């Protein structure tokens, strides 16, 4: 399975990097010389370093935790668990100026009901952007999950109009993450144009990427993650699993491409995959035992952005998928899937650069960051 994944990834990246696109595009008036590889080619990328970019967004985000018992590499029938943190409908505001970006939600509407319960959710992001790289920092906290596979082991007779799900209100997931994305095509490609609209991509172009991830994940509950009817499928240690801590880092490879039509409409897709090194702590009850060890596993990230990006106004739809594995043994599989869908609208305002920030723009550190 892993071999097929990396074969597909490699083929996809080669296509992204090498296939020309047949959209008609007109050249601009300014072109960077070949000898100056550090200068942005303004035929391809338009920057807005002197604009304050104010945006509003509506997003729907969900976190899944999947567990199952394994027997000789196959899932034991009736052992699957699929915990879901109910997607909250979040309305928020984003601010971008030059290389700095902030985003935070100011209104959250739970999407749960009596059957699934509600998830308490907190999210904050701080991003830094340059023409060559993007640094994403996020804090996410979910409290309250339900098992989407409850019907596989709960056979209570209920009306057809009513579904029952096992709820675990005490289950809490916290993820703190930093992701550094480095682009090899600074002159003709801007990742920020697709995902924060600090620039405009005027012509279709792509880039190879190197991505460094660092994050910590903490999952815990007052009771075992394994519902009581399923504990016979798990051995006497793992049937009491109720807490795990993950500290992970990775350097992975990928690619991205933005298709531009009429210098305003665009579609970007990003695909990365590689290996991730994790330090894992698992705790079980009632023995209160702890098992800790290092493990190297696979990780993948997929993003898609579709939008309209003009001189002042932009609209953007983005989708993000993160997949990770935390199997404690060969007999138990634990994985997480995070996905988010966001709709953003924004406008670029003329502002006078503050004097302290103008001084910062004149420093060697600022030149180095760009």
pLDDT for the residue 220: 92
Reply yes or no on whether the pLDDT at 290 is more than 50.
Answer: yes
Higher pLDDT pick, 344 / 90: 344
Q: Quick check: is 360 in a domain?
A: yes
Residues 113-135: b if buried by 16+ CB within 10 A, e if exposed: eeebbbbebebebebbbbbbbbb
Structural domain contains residue 365: yes
**CB neighbours (10 Å) of residue 32?**
16
pLDDT band at 51 (very low <50, low <70, confident <90, very high): confident
Residue 138 belongs to some domain of the structure: yes
Q: Please provide the average confidence, as pLDDT, over all residues in the chain.
A: 80
The answer to the question of residue 41 being in a domain is: no
Count Cα neighbours of 221 within 13 Å in the Cβ-side half-sphere: 19
| Least-confidence region, from 107-111, 175-179, 237-241, 301-305 | 107-111
123: CATH? 2.40.128
Whether residue 52 has pLDDT greater than 50? yes
**Cα gap 332→68, rounded to integer Å:** 6
Structure tokens at 279: 């330090």
Q: Which of 255, 226, 268, 252 is nearest to 324 (CA)?
A: 252
- Residue 265, phi then psi, degrees to nearest 5: -90, 140
Q: How many domains does the chain have?
A: 1
CA distance 272 to 326: 19
- 135 part of a folded domain: yes
* pLDDT, tens digit, 9 for 90 and up, residues 197-227: 788 899 999 999 999 989 999 999 998 888 8
Q: What is the pLDDT of residue 248?
A: 93
For residue 34, tell me if it sits in a domain: no
Q: What pLDDT score does 194 carry? A: 84
48 has a pLDDT exceeding 50: yes
Question: In this predicted structure, what is the pLDDT of residue 38?
Answer: 58
Dist. CA 252–CA 240, nearest whole Å = 34
Give the pLDDT confidence score for residue 29 in this predicted structure.
36
Distances (CA, A) of 153 to 70, 210, 230, 235, 278: 17, 44, 8, 18, 32
170-184, 196-210, 260-274, 321-335: least confident range = 321-335
In three-state secondary structure terms, 358 is helix
In a domain, 31, yes or no: no
- Residue 142: its pLDDT value, please? 87
- Provide the residue range defining the domain that includes 148: 2-19+62-369
Q: What is the pLDDT of residue 214?
A: 93
Q: Cα separation of 115 and 84, whole Å?
A: 13
Does the structure show a pLDDT above 60 at 159?
Answer: no
The 3-state DSSP class for residue 230 equals helix
pLDDT band at 129 (very low <50, low <70, confident <90, very high): confident
Task: Please give the helix or strand (H or E) that residue 365 lies within, else none.
Answer: helix 364-369
The values of phi and psi at residue 23, to 5°, are -100, 135
Q: What is the pLDDT of residue 354?
A: 82
Q: Is residue 124 part of a domain?
A: yes
- Per-residue model confidence (pLDDT) at position 107: 58
Q: What is the C-alpha end-to-end distance of the chain, expressed in Å?
A: 40
Q: Say whether pLDDT at 276 is over 80.
A: yes
């Amino acid at each position: 399975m892993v071999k097929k994944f990396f074969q597909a990834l490699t083929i996809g990246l080669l296509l992204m990097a090498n296939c020309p696109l047949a959209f008609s595009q007109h050249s601009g008036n300014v072109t960077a010389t070949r000898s100056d590889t550090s200068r942005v080619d303004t035929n391809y990328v338009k920057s807005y370093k002197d604009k304050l970019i104010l945006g509003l967004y509506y997003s729907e985000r969900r976190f899944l935790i999947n567990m199952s018992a394994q027997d000789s590499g196959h899932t034991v029938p009736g052992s699957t668990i699929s915990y879901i943190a109910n997607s909250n409908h979040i309305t928020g505001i984003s601010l971008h100026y030059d290389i700095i970006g902030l985003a935070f939600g100011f209104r959250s509407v739970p999407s749960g009901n009596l059957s699934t319960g509600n998830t308490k959710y907190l999210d904050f992001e701080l991003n830094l952007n340059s023409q060559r790289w993007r640094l994403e920092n996020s804090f996410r906290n979910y409290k309250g999950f339900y098992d989407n596979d409850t019907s596989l082991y709960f056979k209570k007779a209920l009306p057809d109009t009513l579904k029952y799900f096992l709820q675990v209100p005490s289950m809490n997931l916290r993820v703190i993450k930093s992701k550094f994305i480095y682009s090899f095509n600074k002159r003709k490609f801007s990742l920020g144009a697709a995902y924060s609209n600090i620039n405009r991509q005027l012509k279709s172009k792509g880039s190879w990427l190197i991505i460094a991830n660092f994050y910590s994940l903490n999952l815990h509950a007052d009771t075992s993650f394994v519902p009581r009817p399923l504990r016979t499928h798990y051995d006497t240690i793992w049937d009491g699993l109720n807490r795990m801590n993950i500290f992970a880092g990775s350097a992975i490879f990928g690619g991205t491409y933005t298709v531009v039509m009429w210098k305003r409409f665009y579609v970007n897709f990003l695909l990365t995959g590689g290996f991730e090194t994790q330090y894992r702590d698992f705790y079980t009850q009632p023995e209160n035992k702890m098992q800790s060890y290092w493990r190297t596993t696979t990780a993948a990230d997929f993003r898609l952005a579709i939008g309209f990006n003009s001189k002042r106004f932009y609209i953007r739809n983005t989708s993000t998928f993160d997949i990770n594995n935390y199997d404690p043994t060969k007999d138990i599989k634990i994985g997480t899937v995070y996905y988010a869908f966001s709709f953003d609208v924004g406008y670029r305002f003329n502002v006078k650069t503050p004097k302290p920030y103008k001084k910062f723009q004149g420093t060697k550190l600022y030149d180095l960051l760009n």
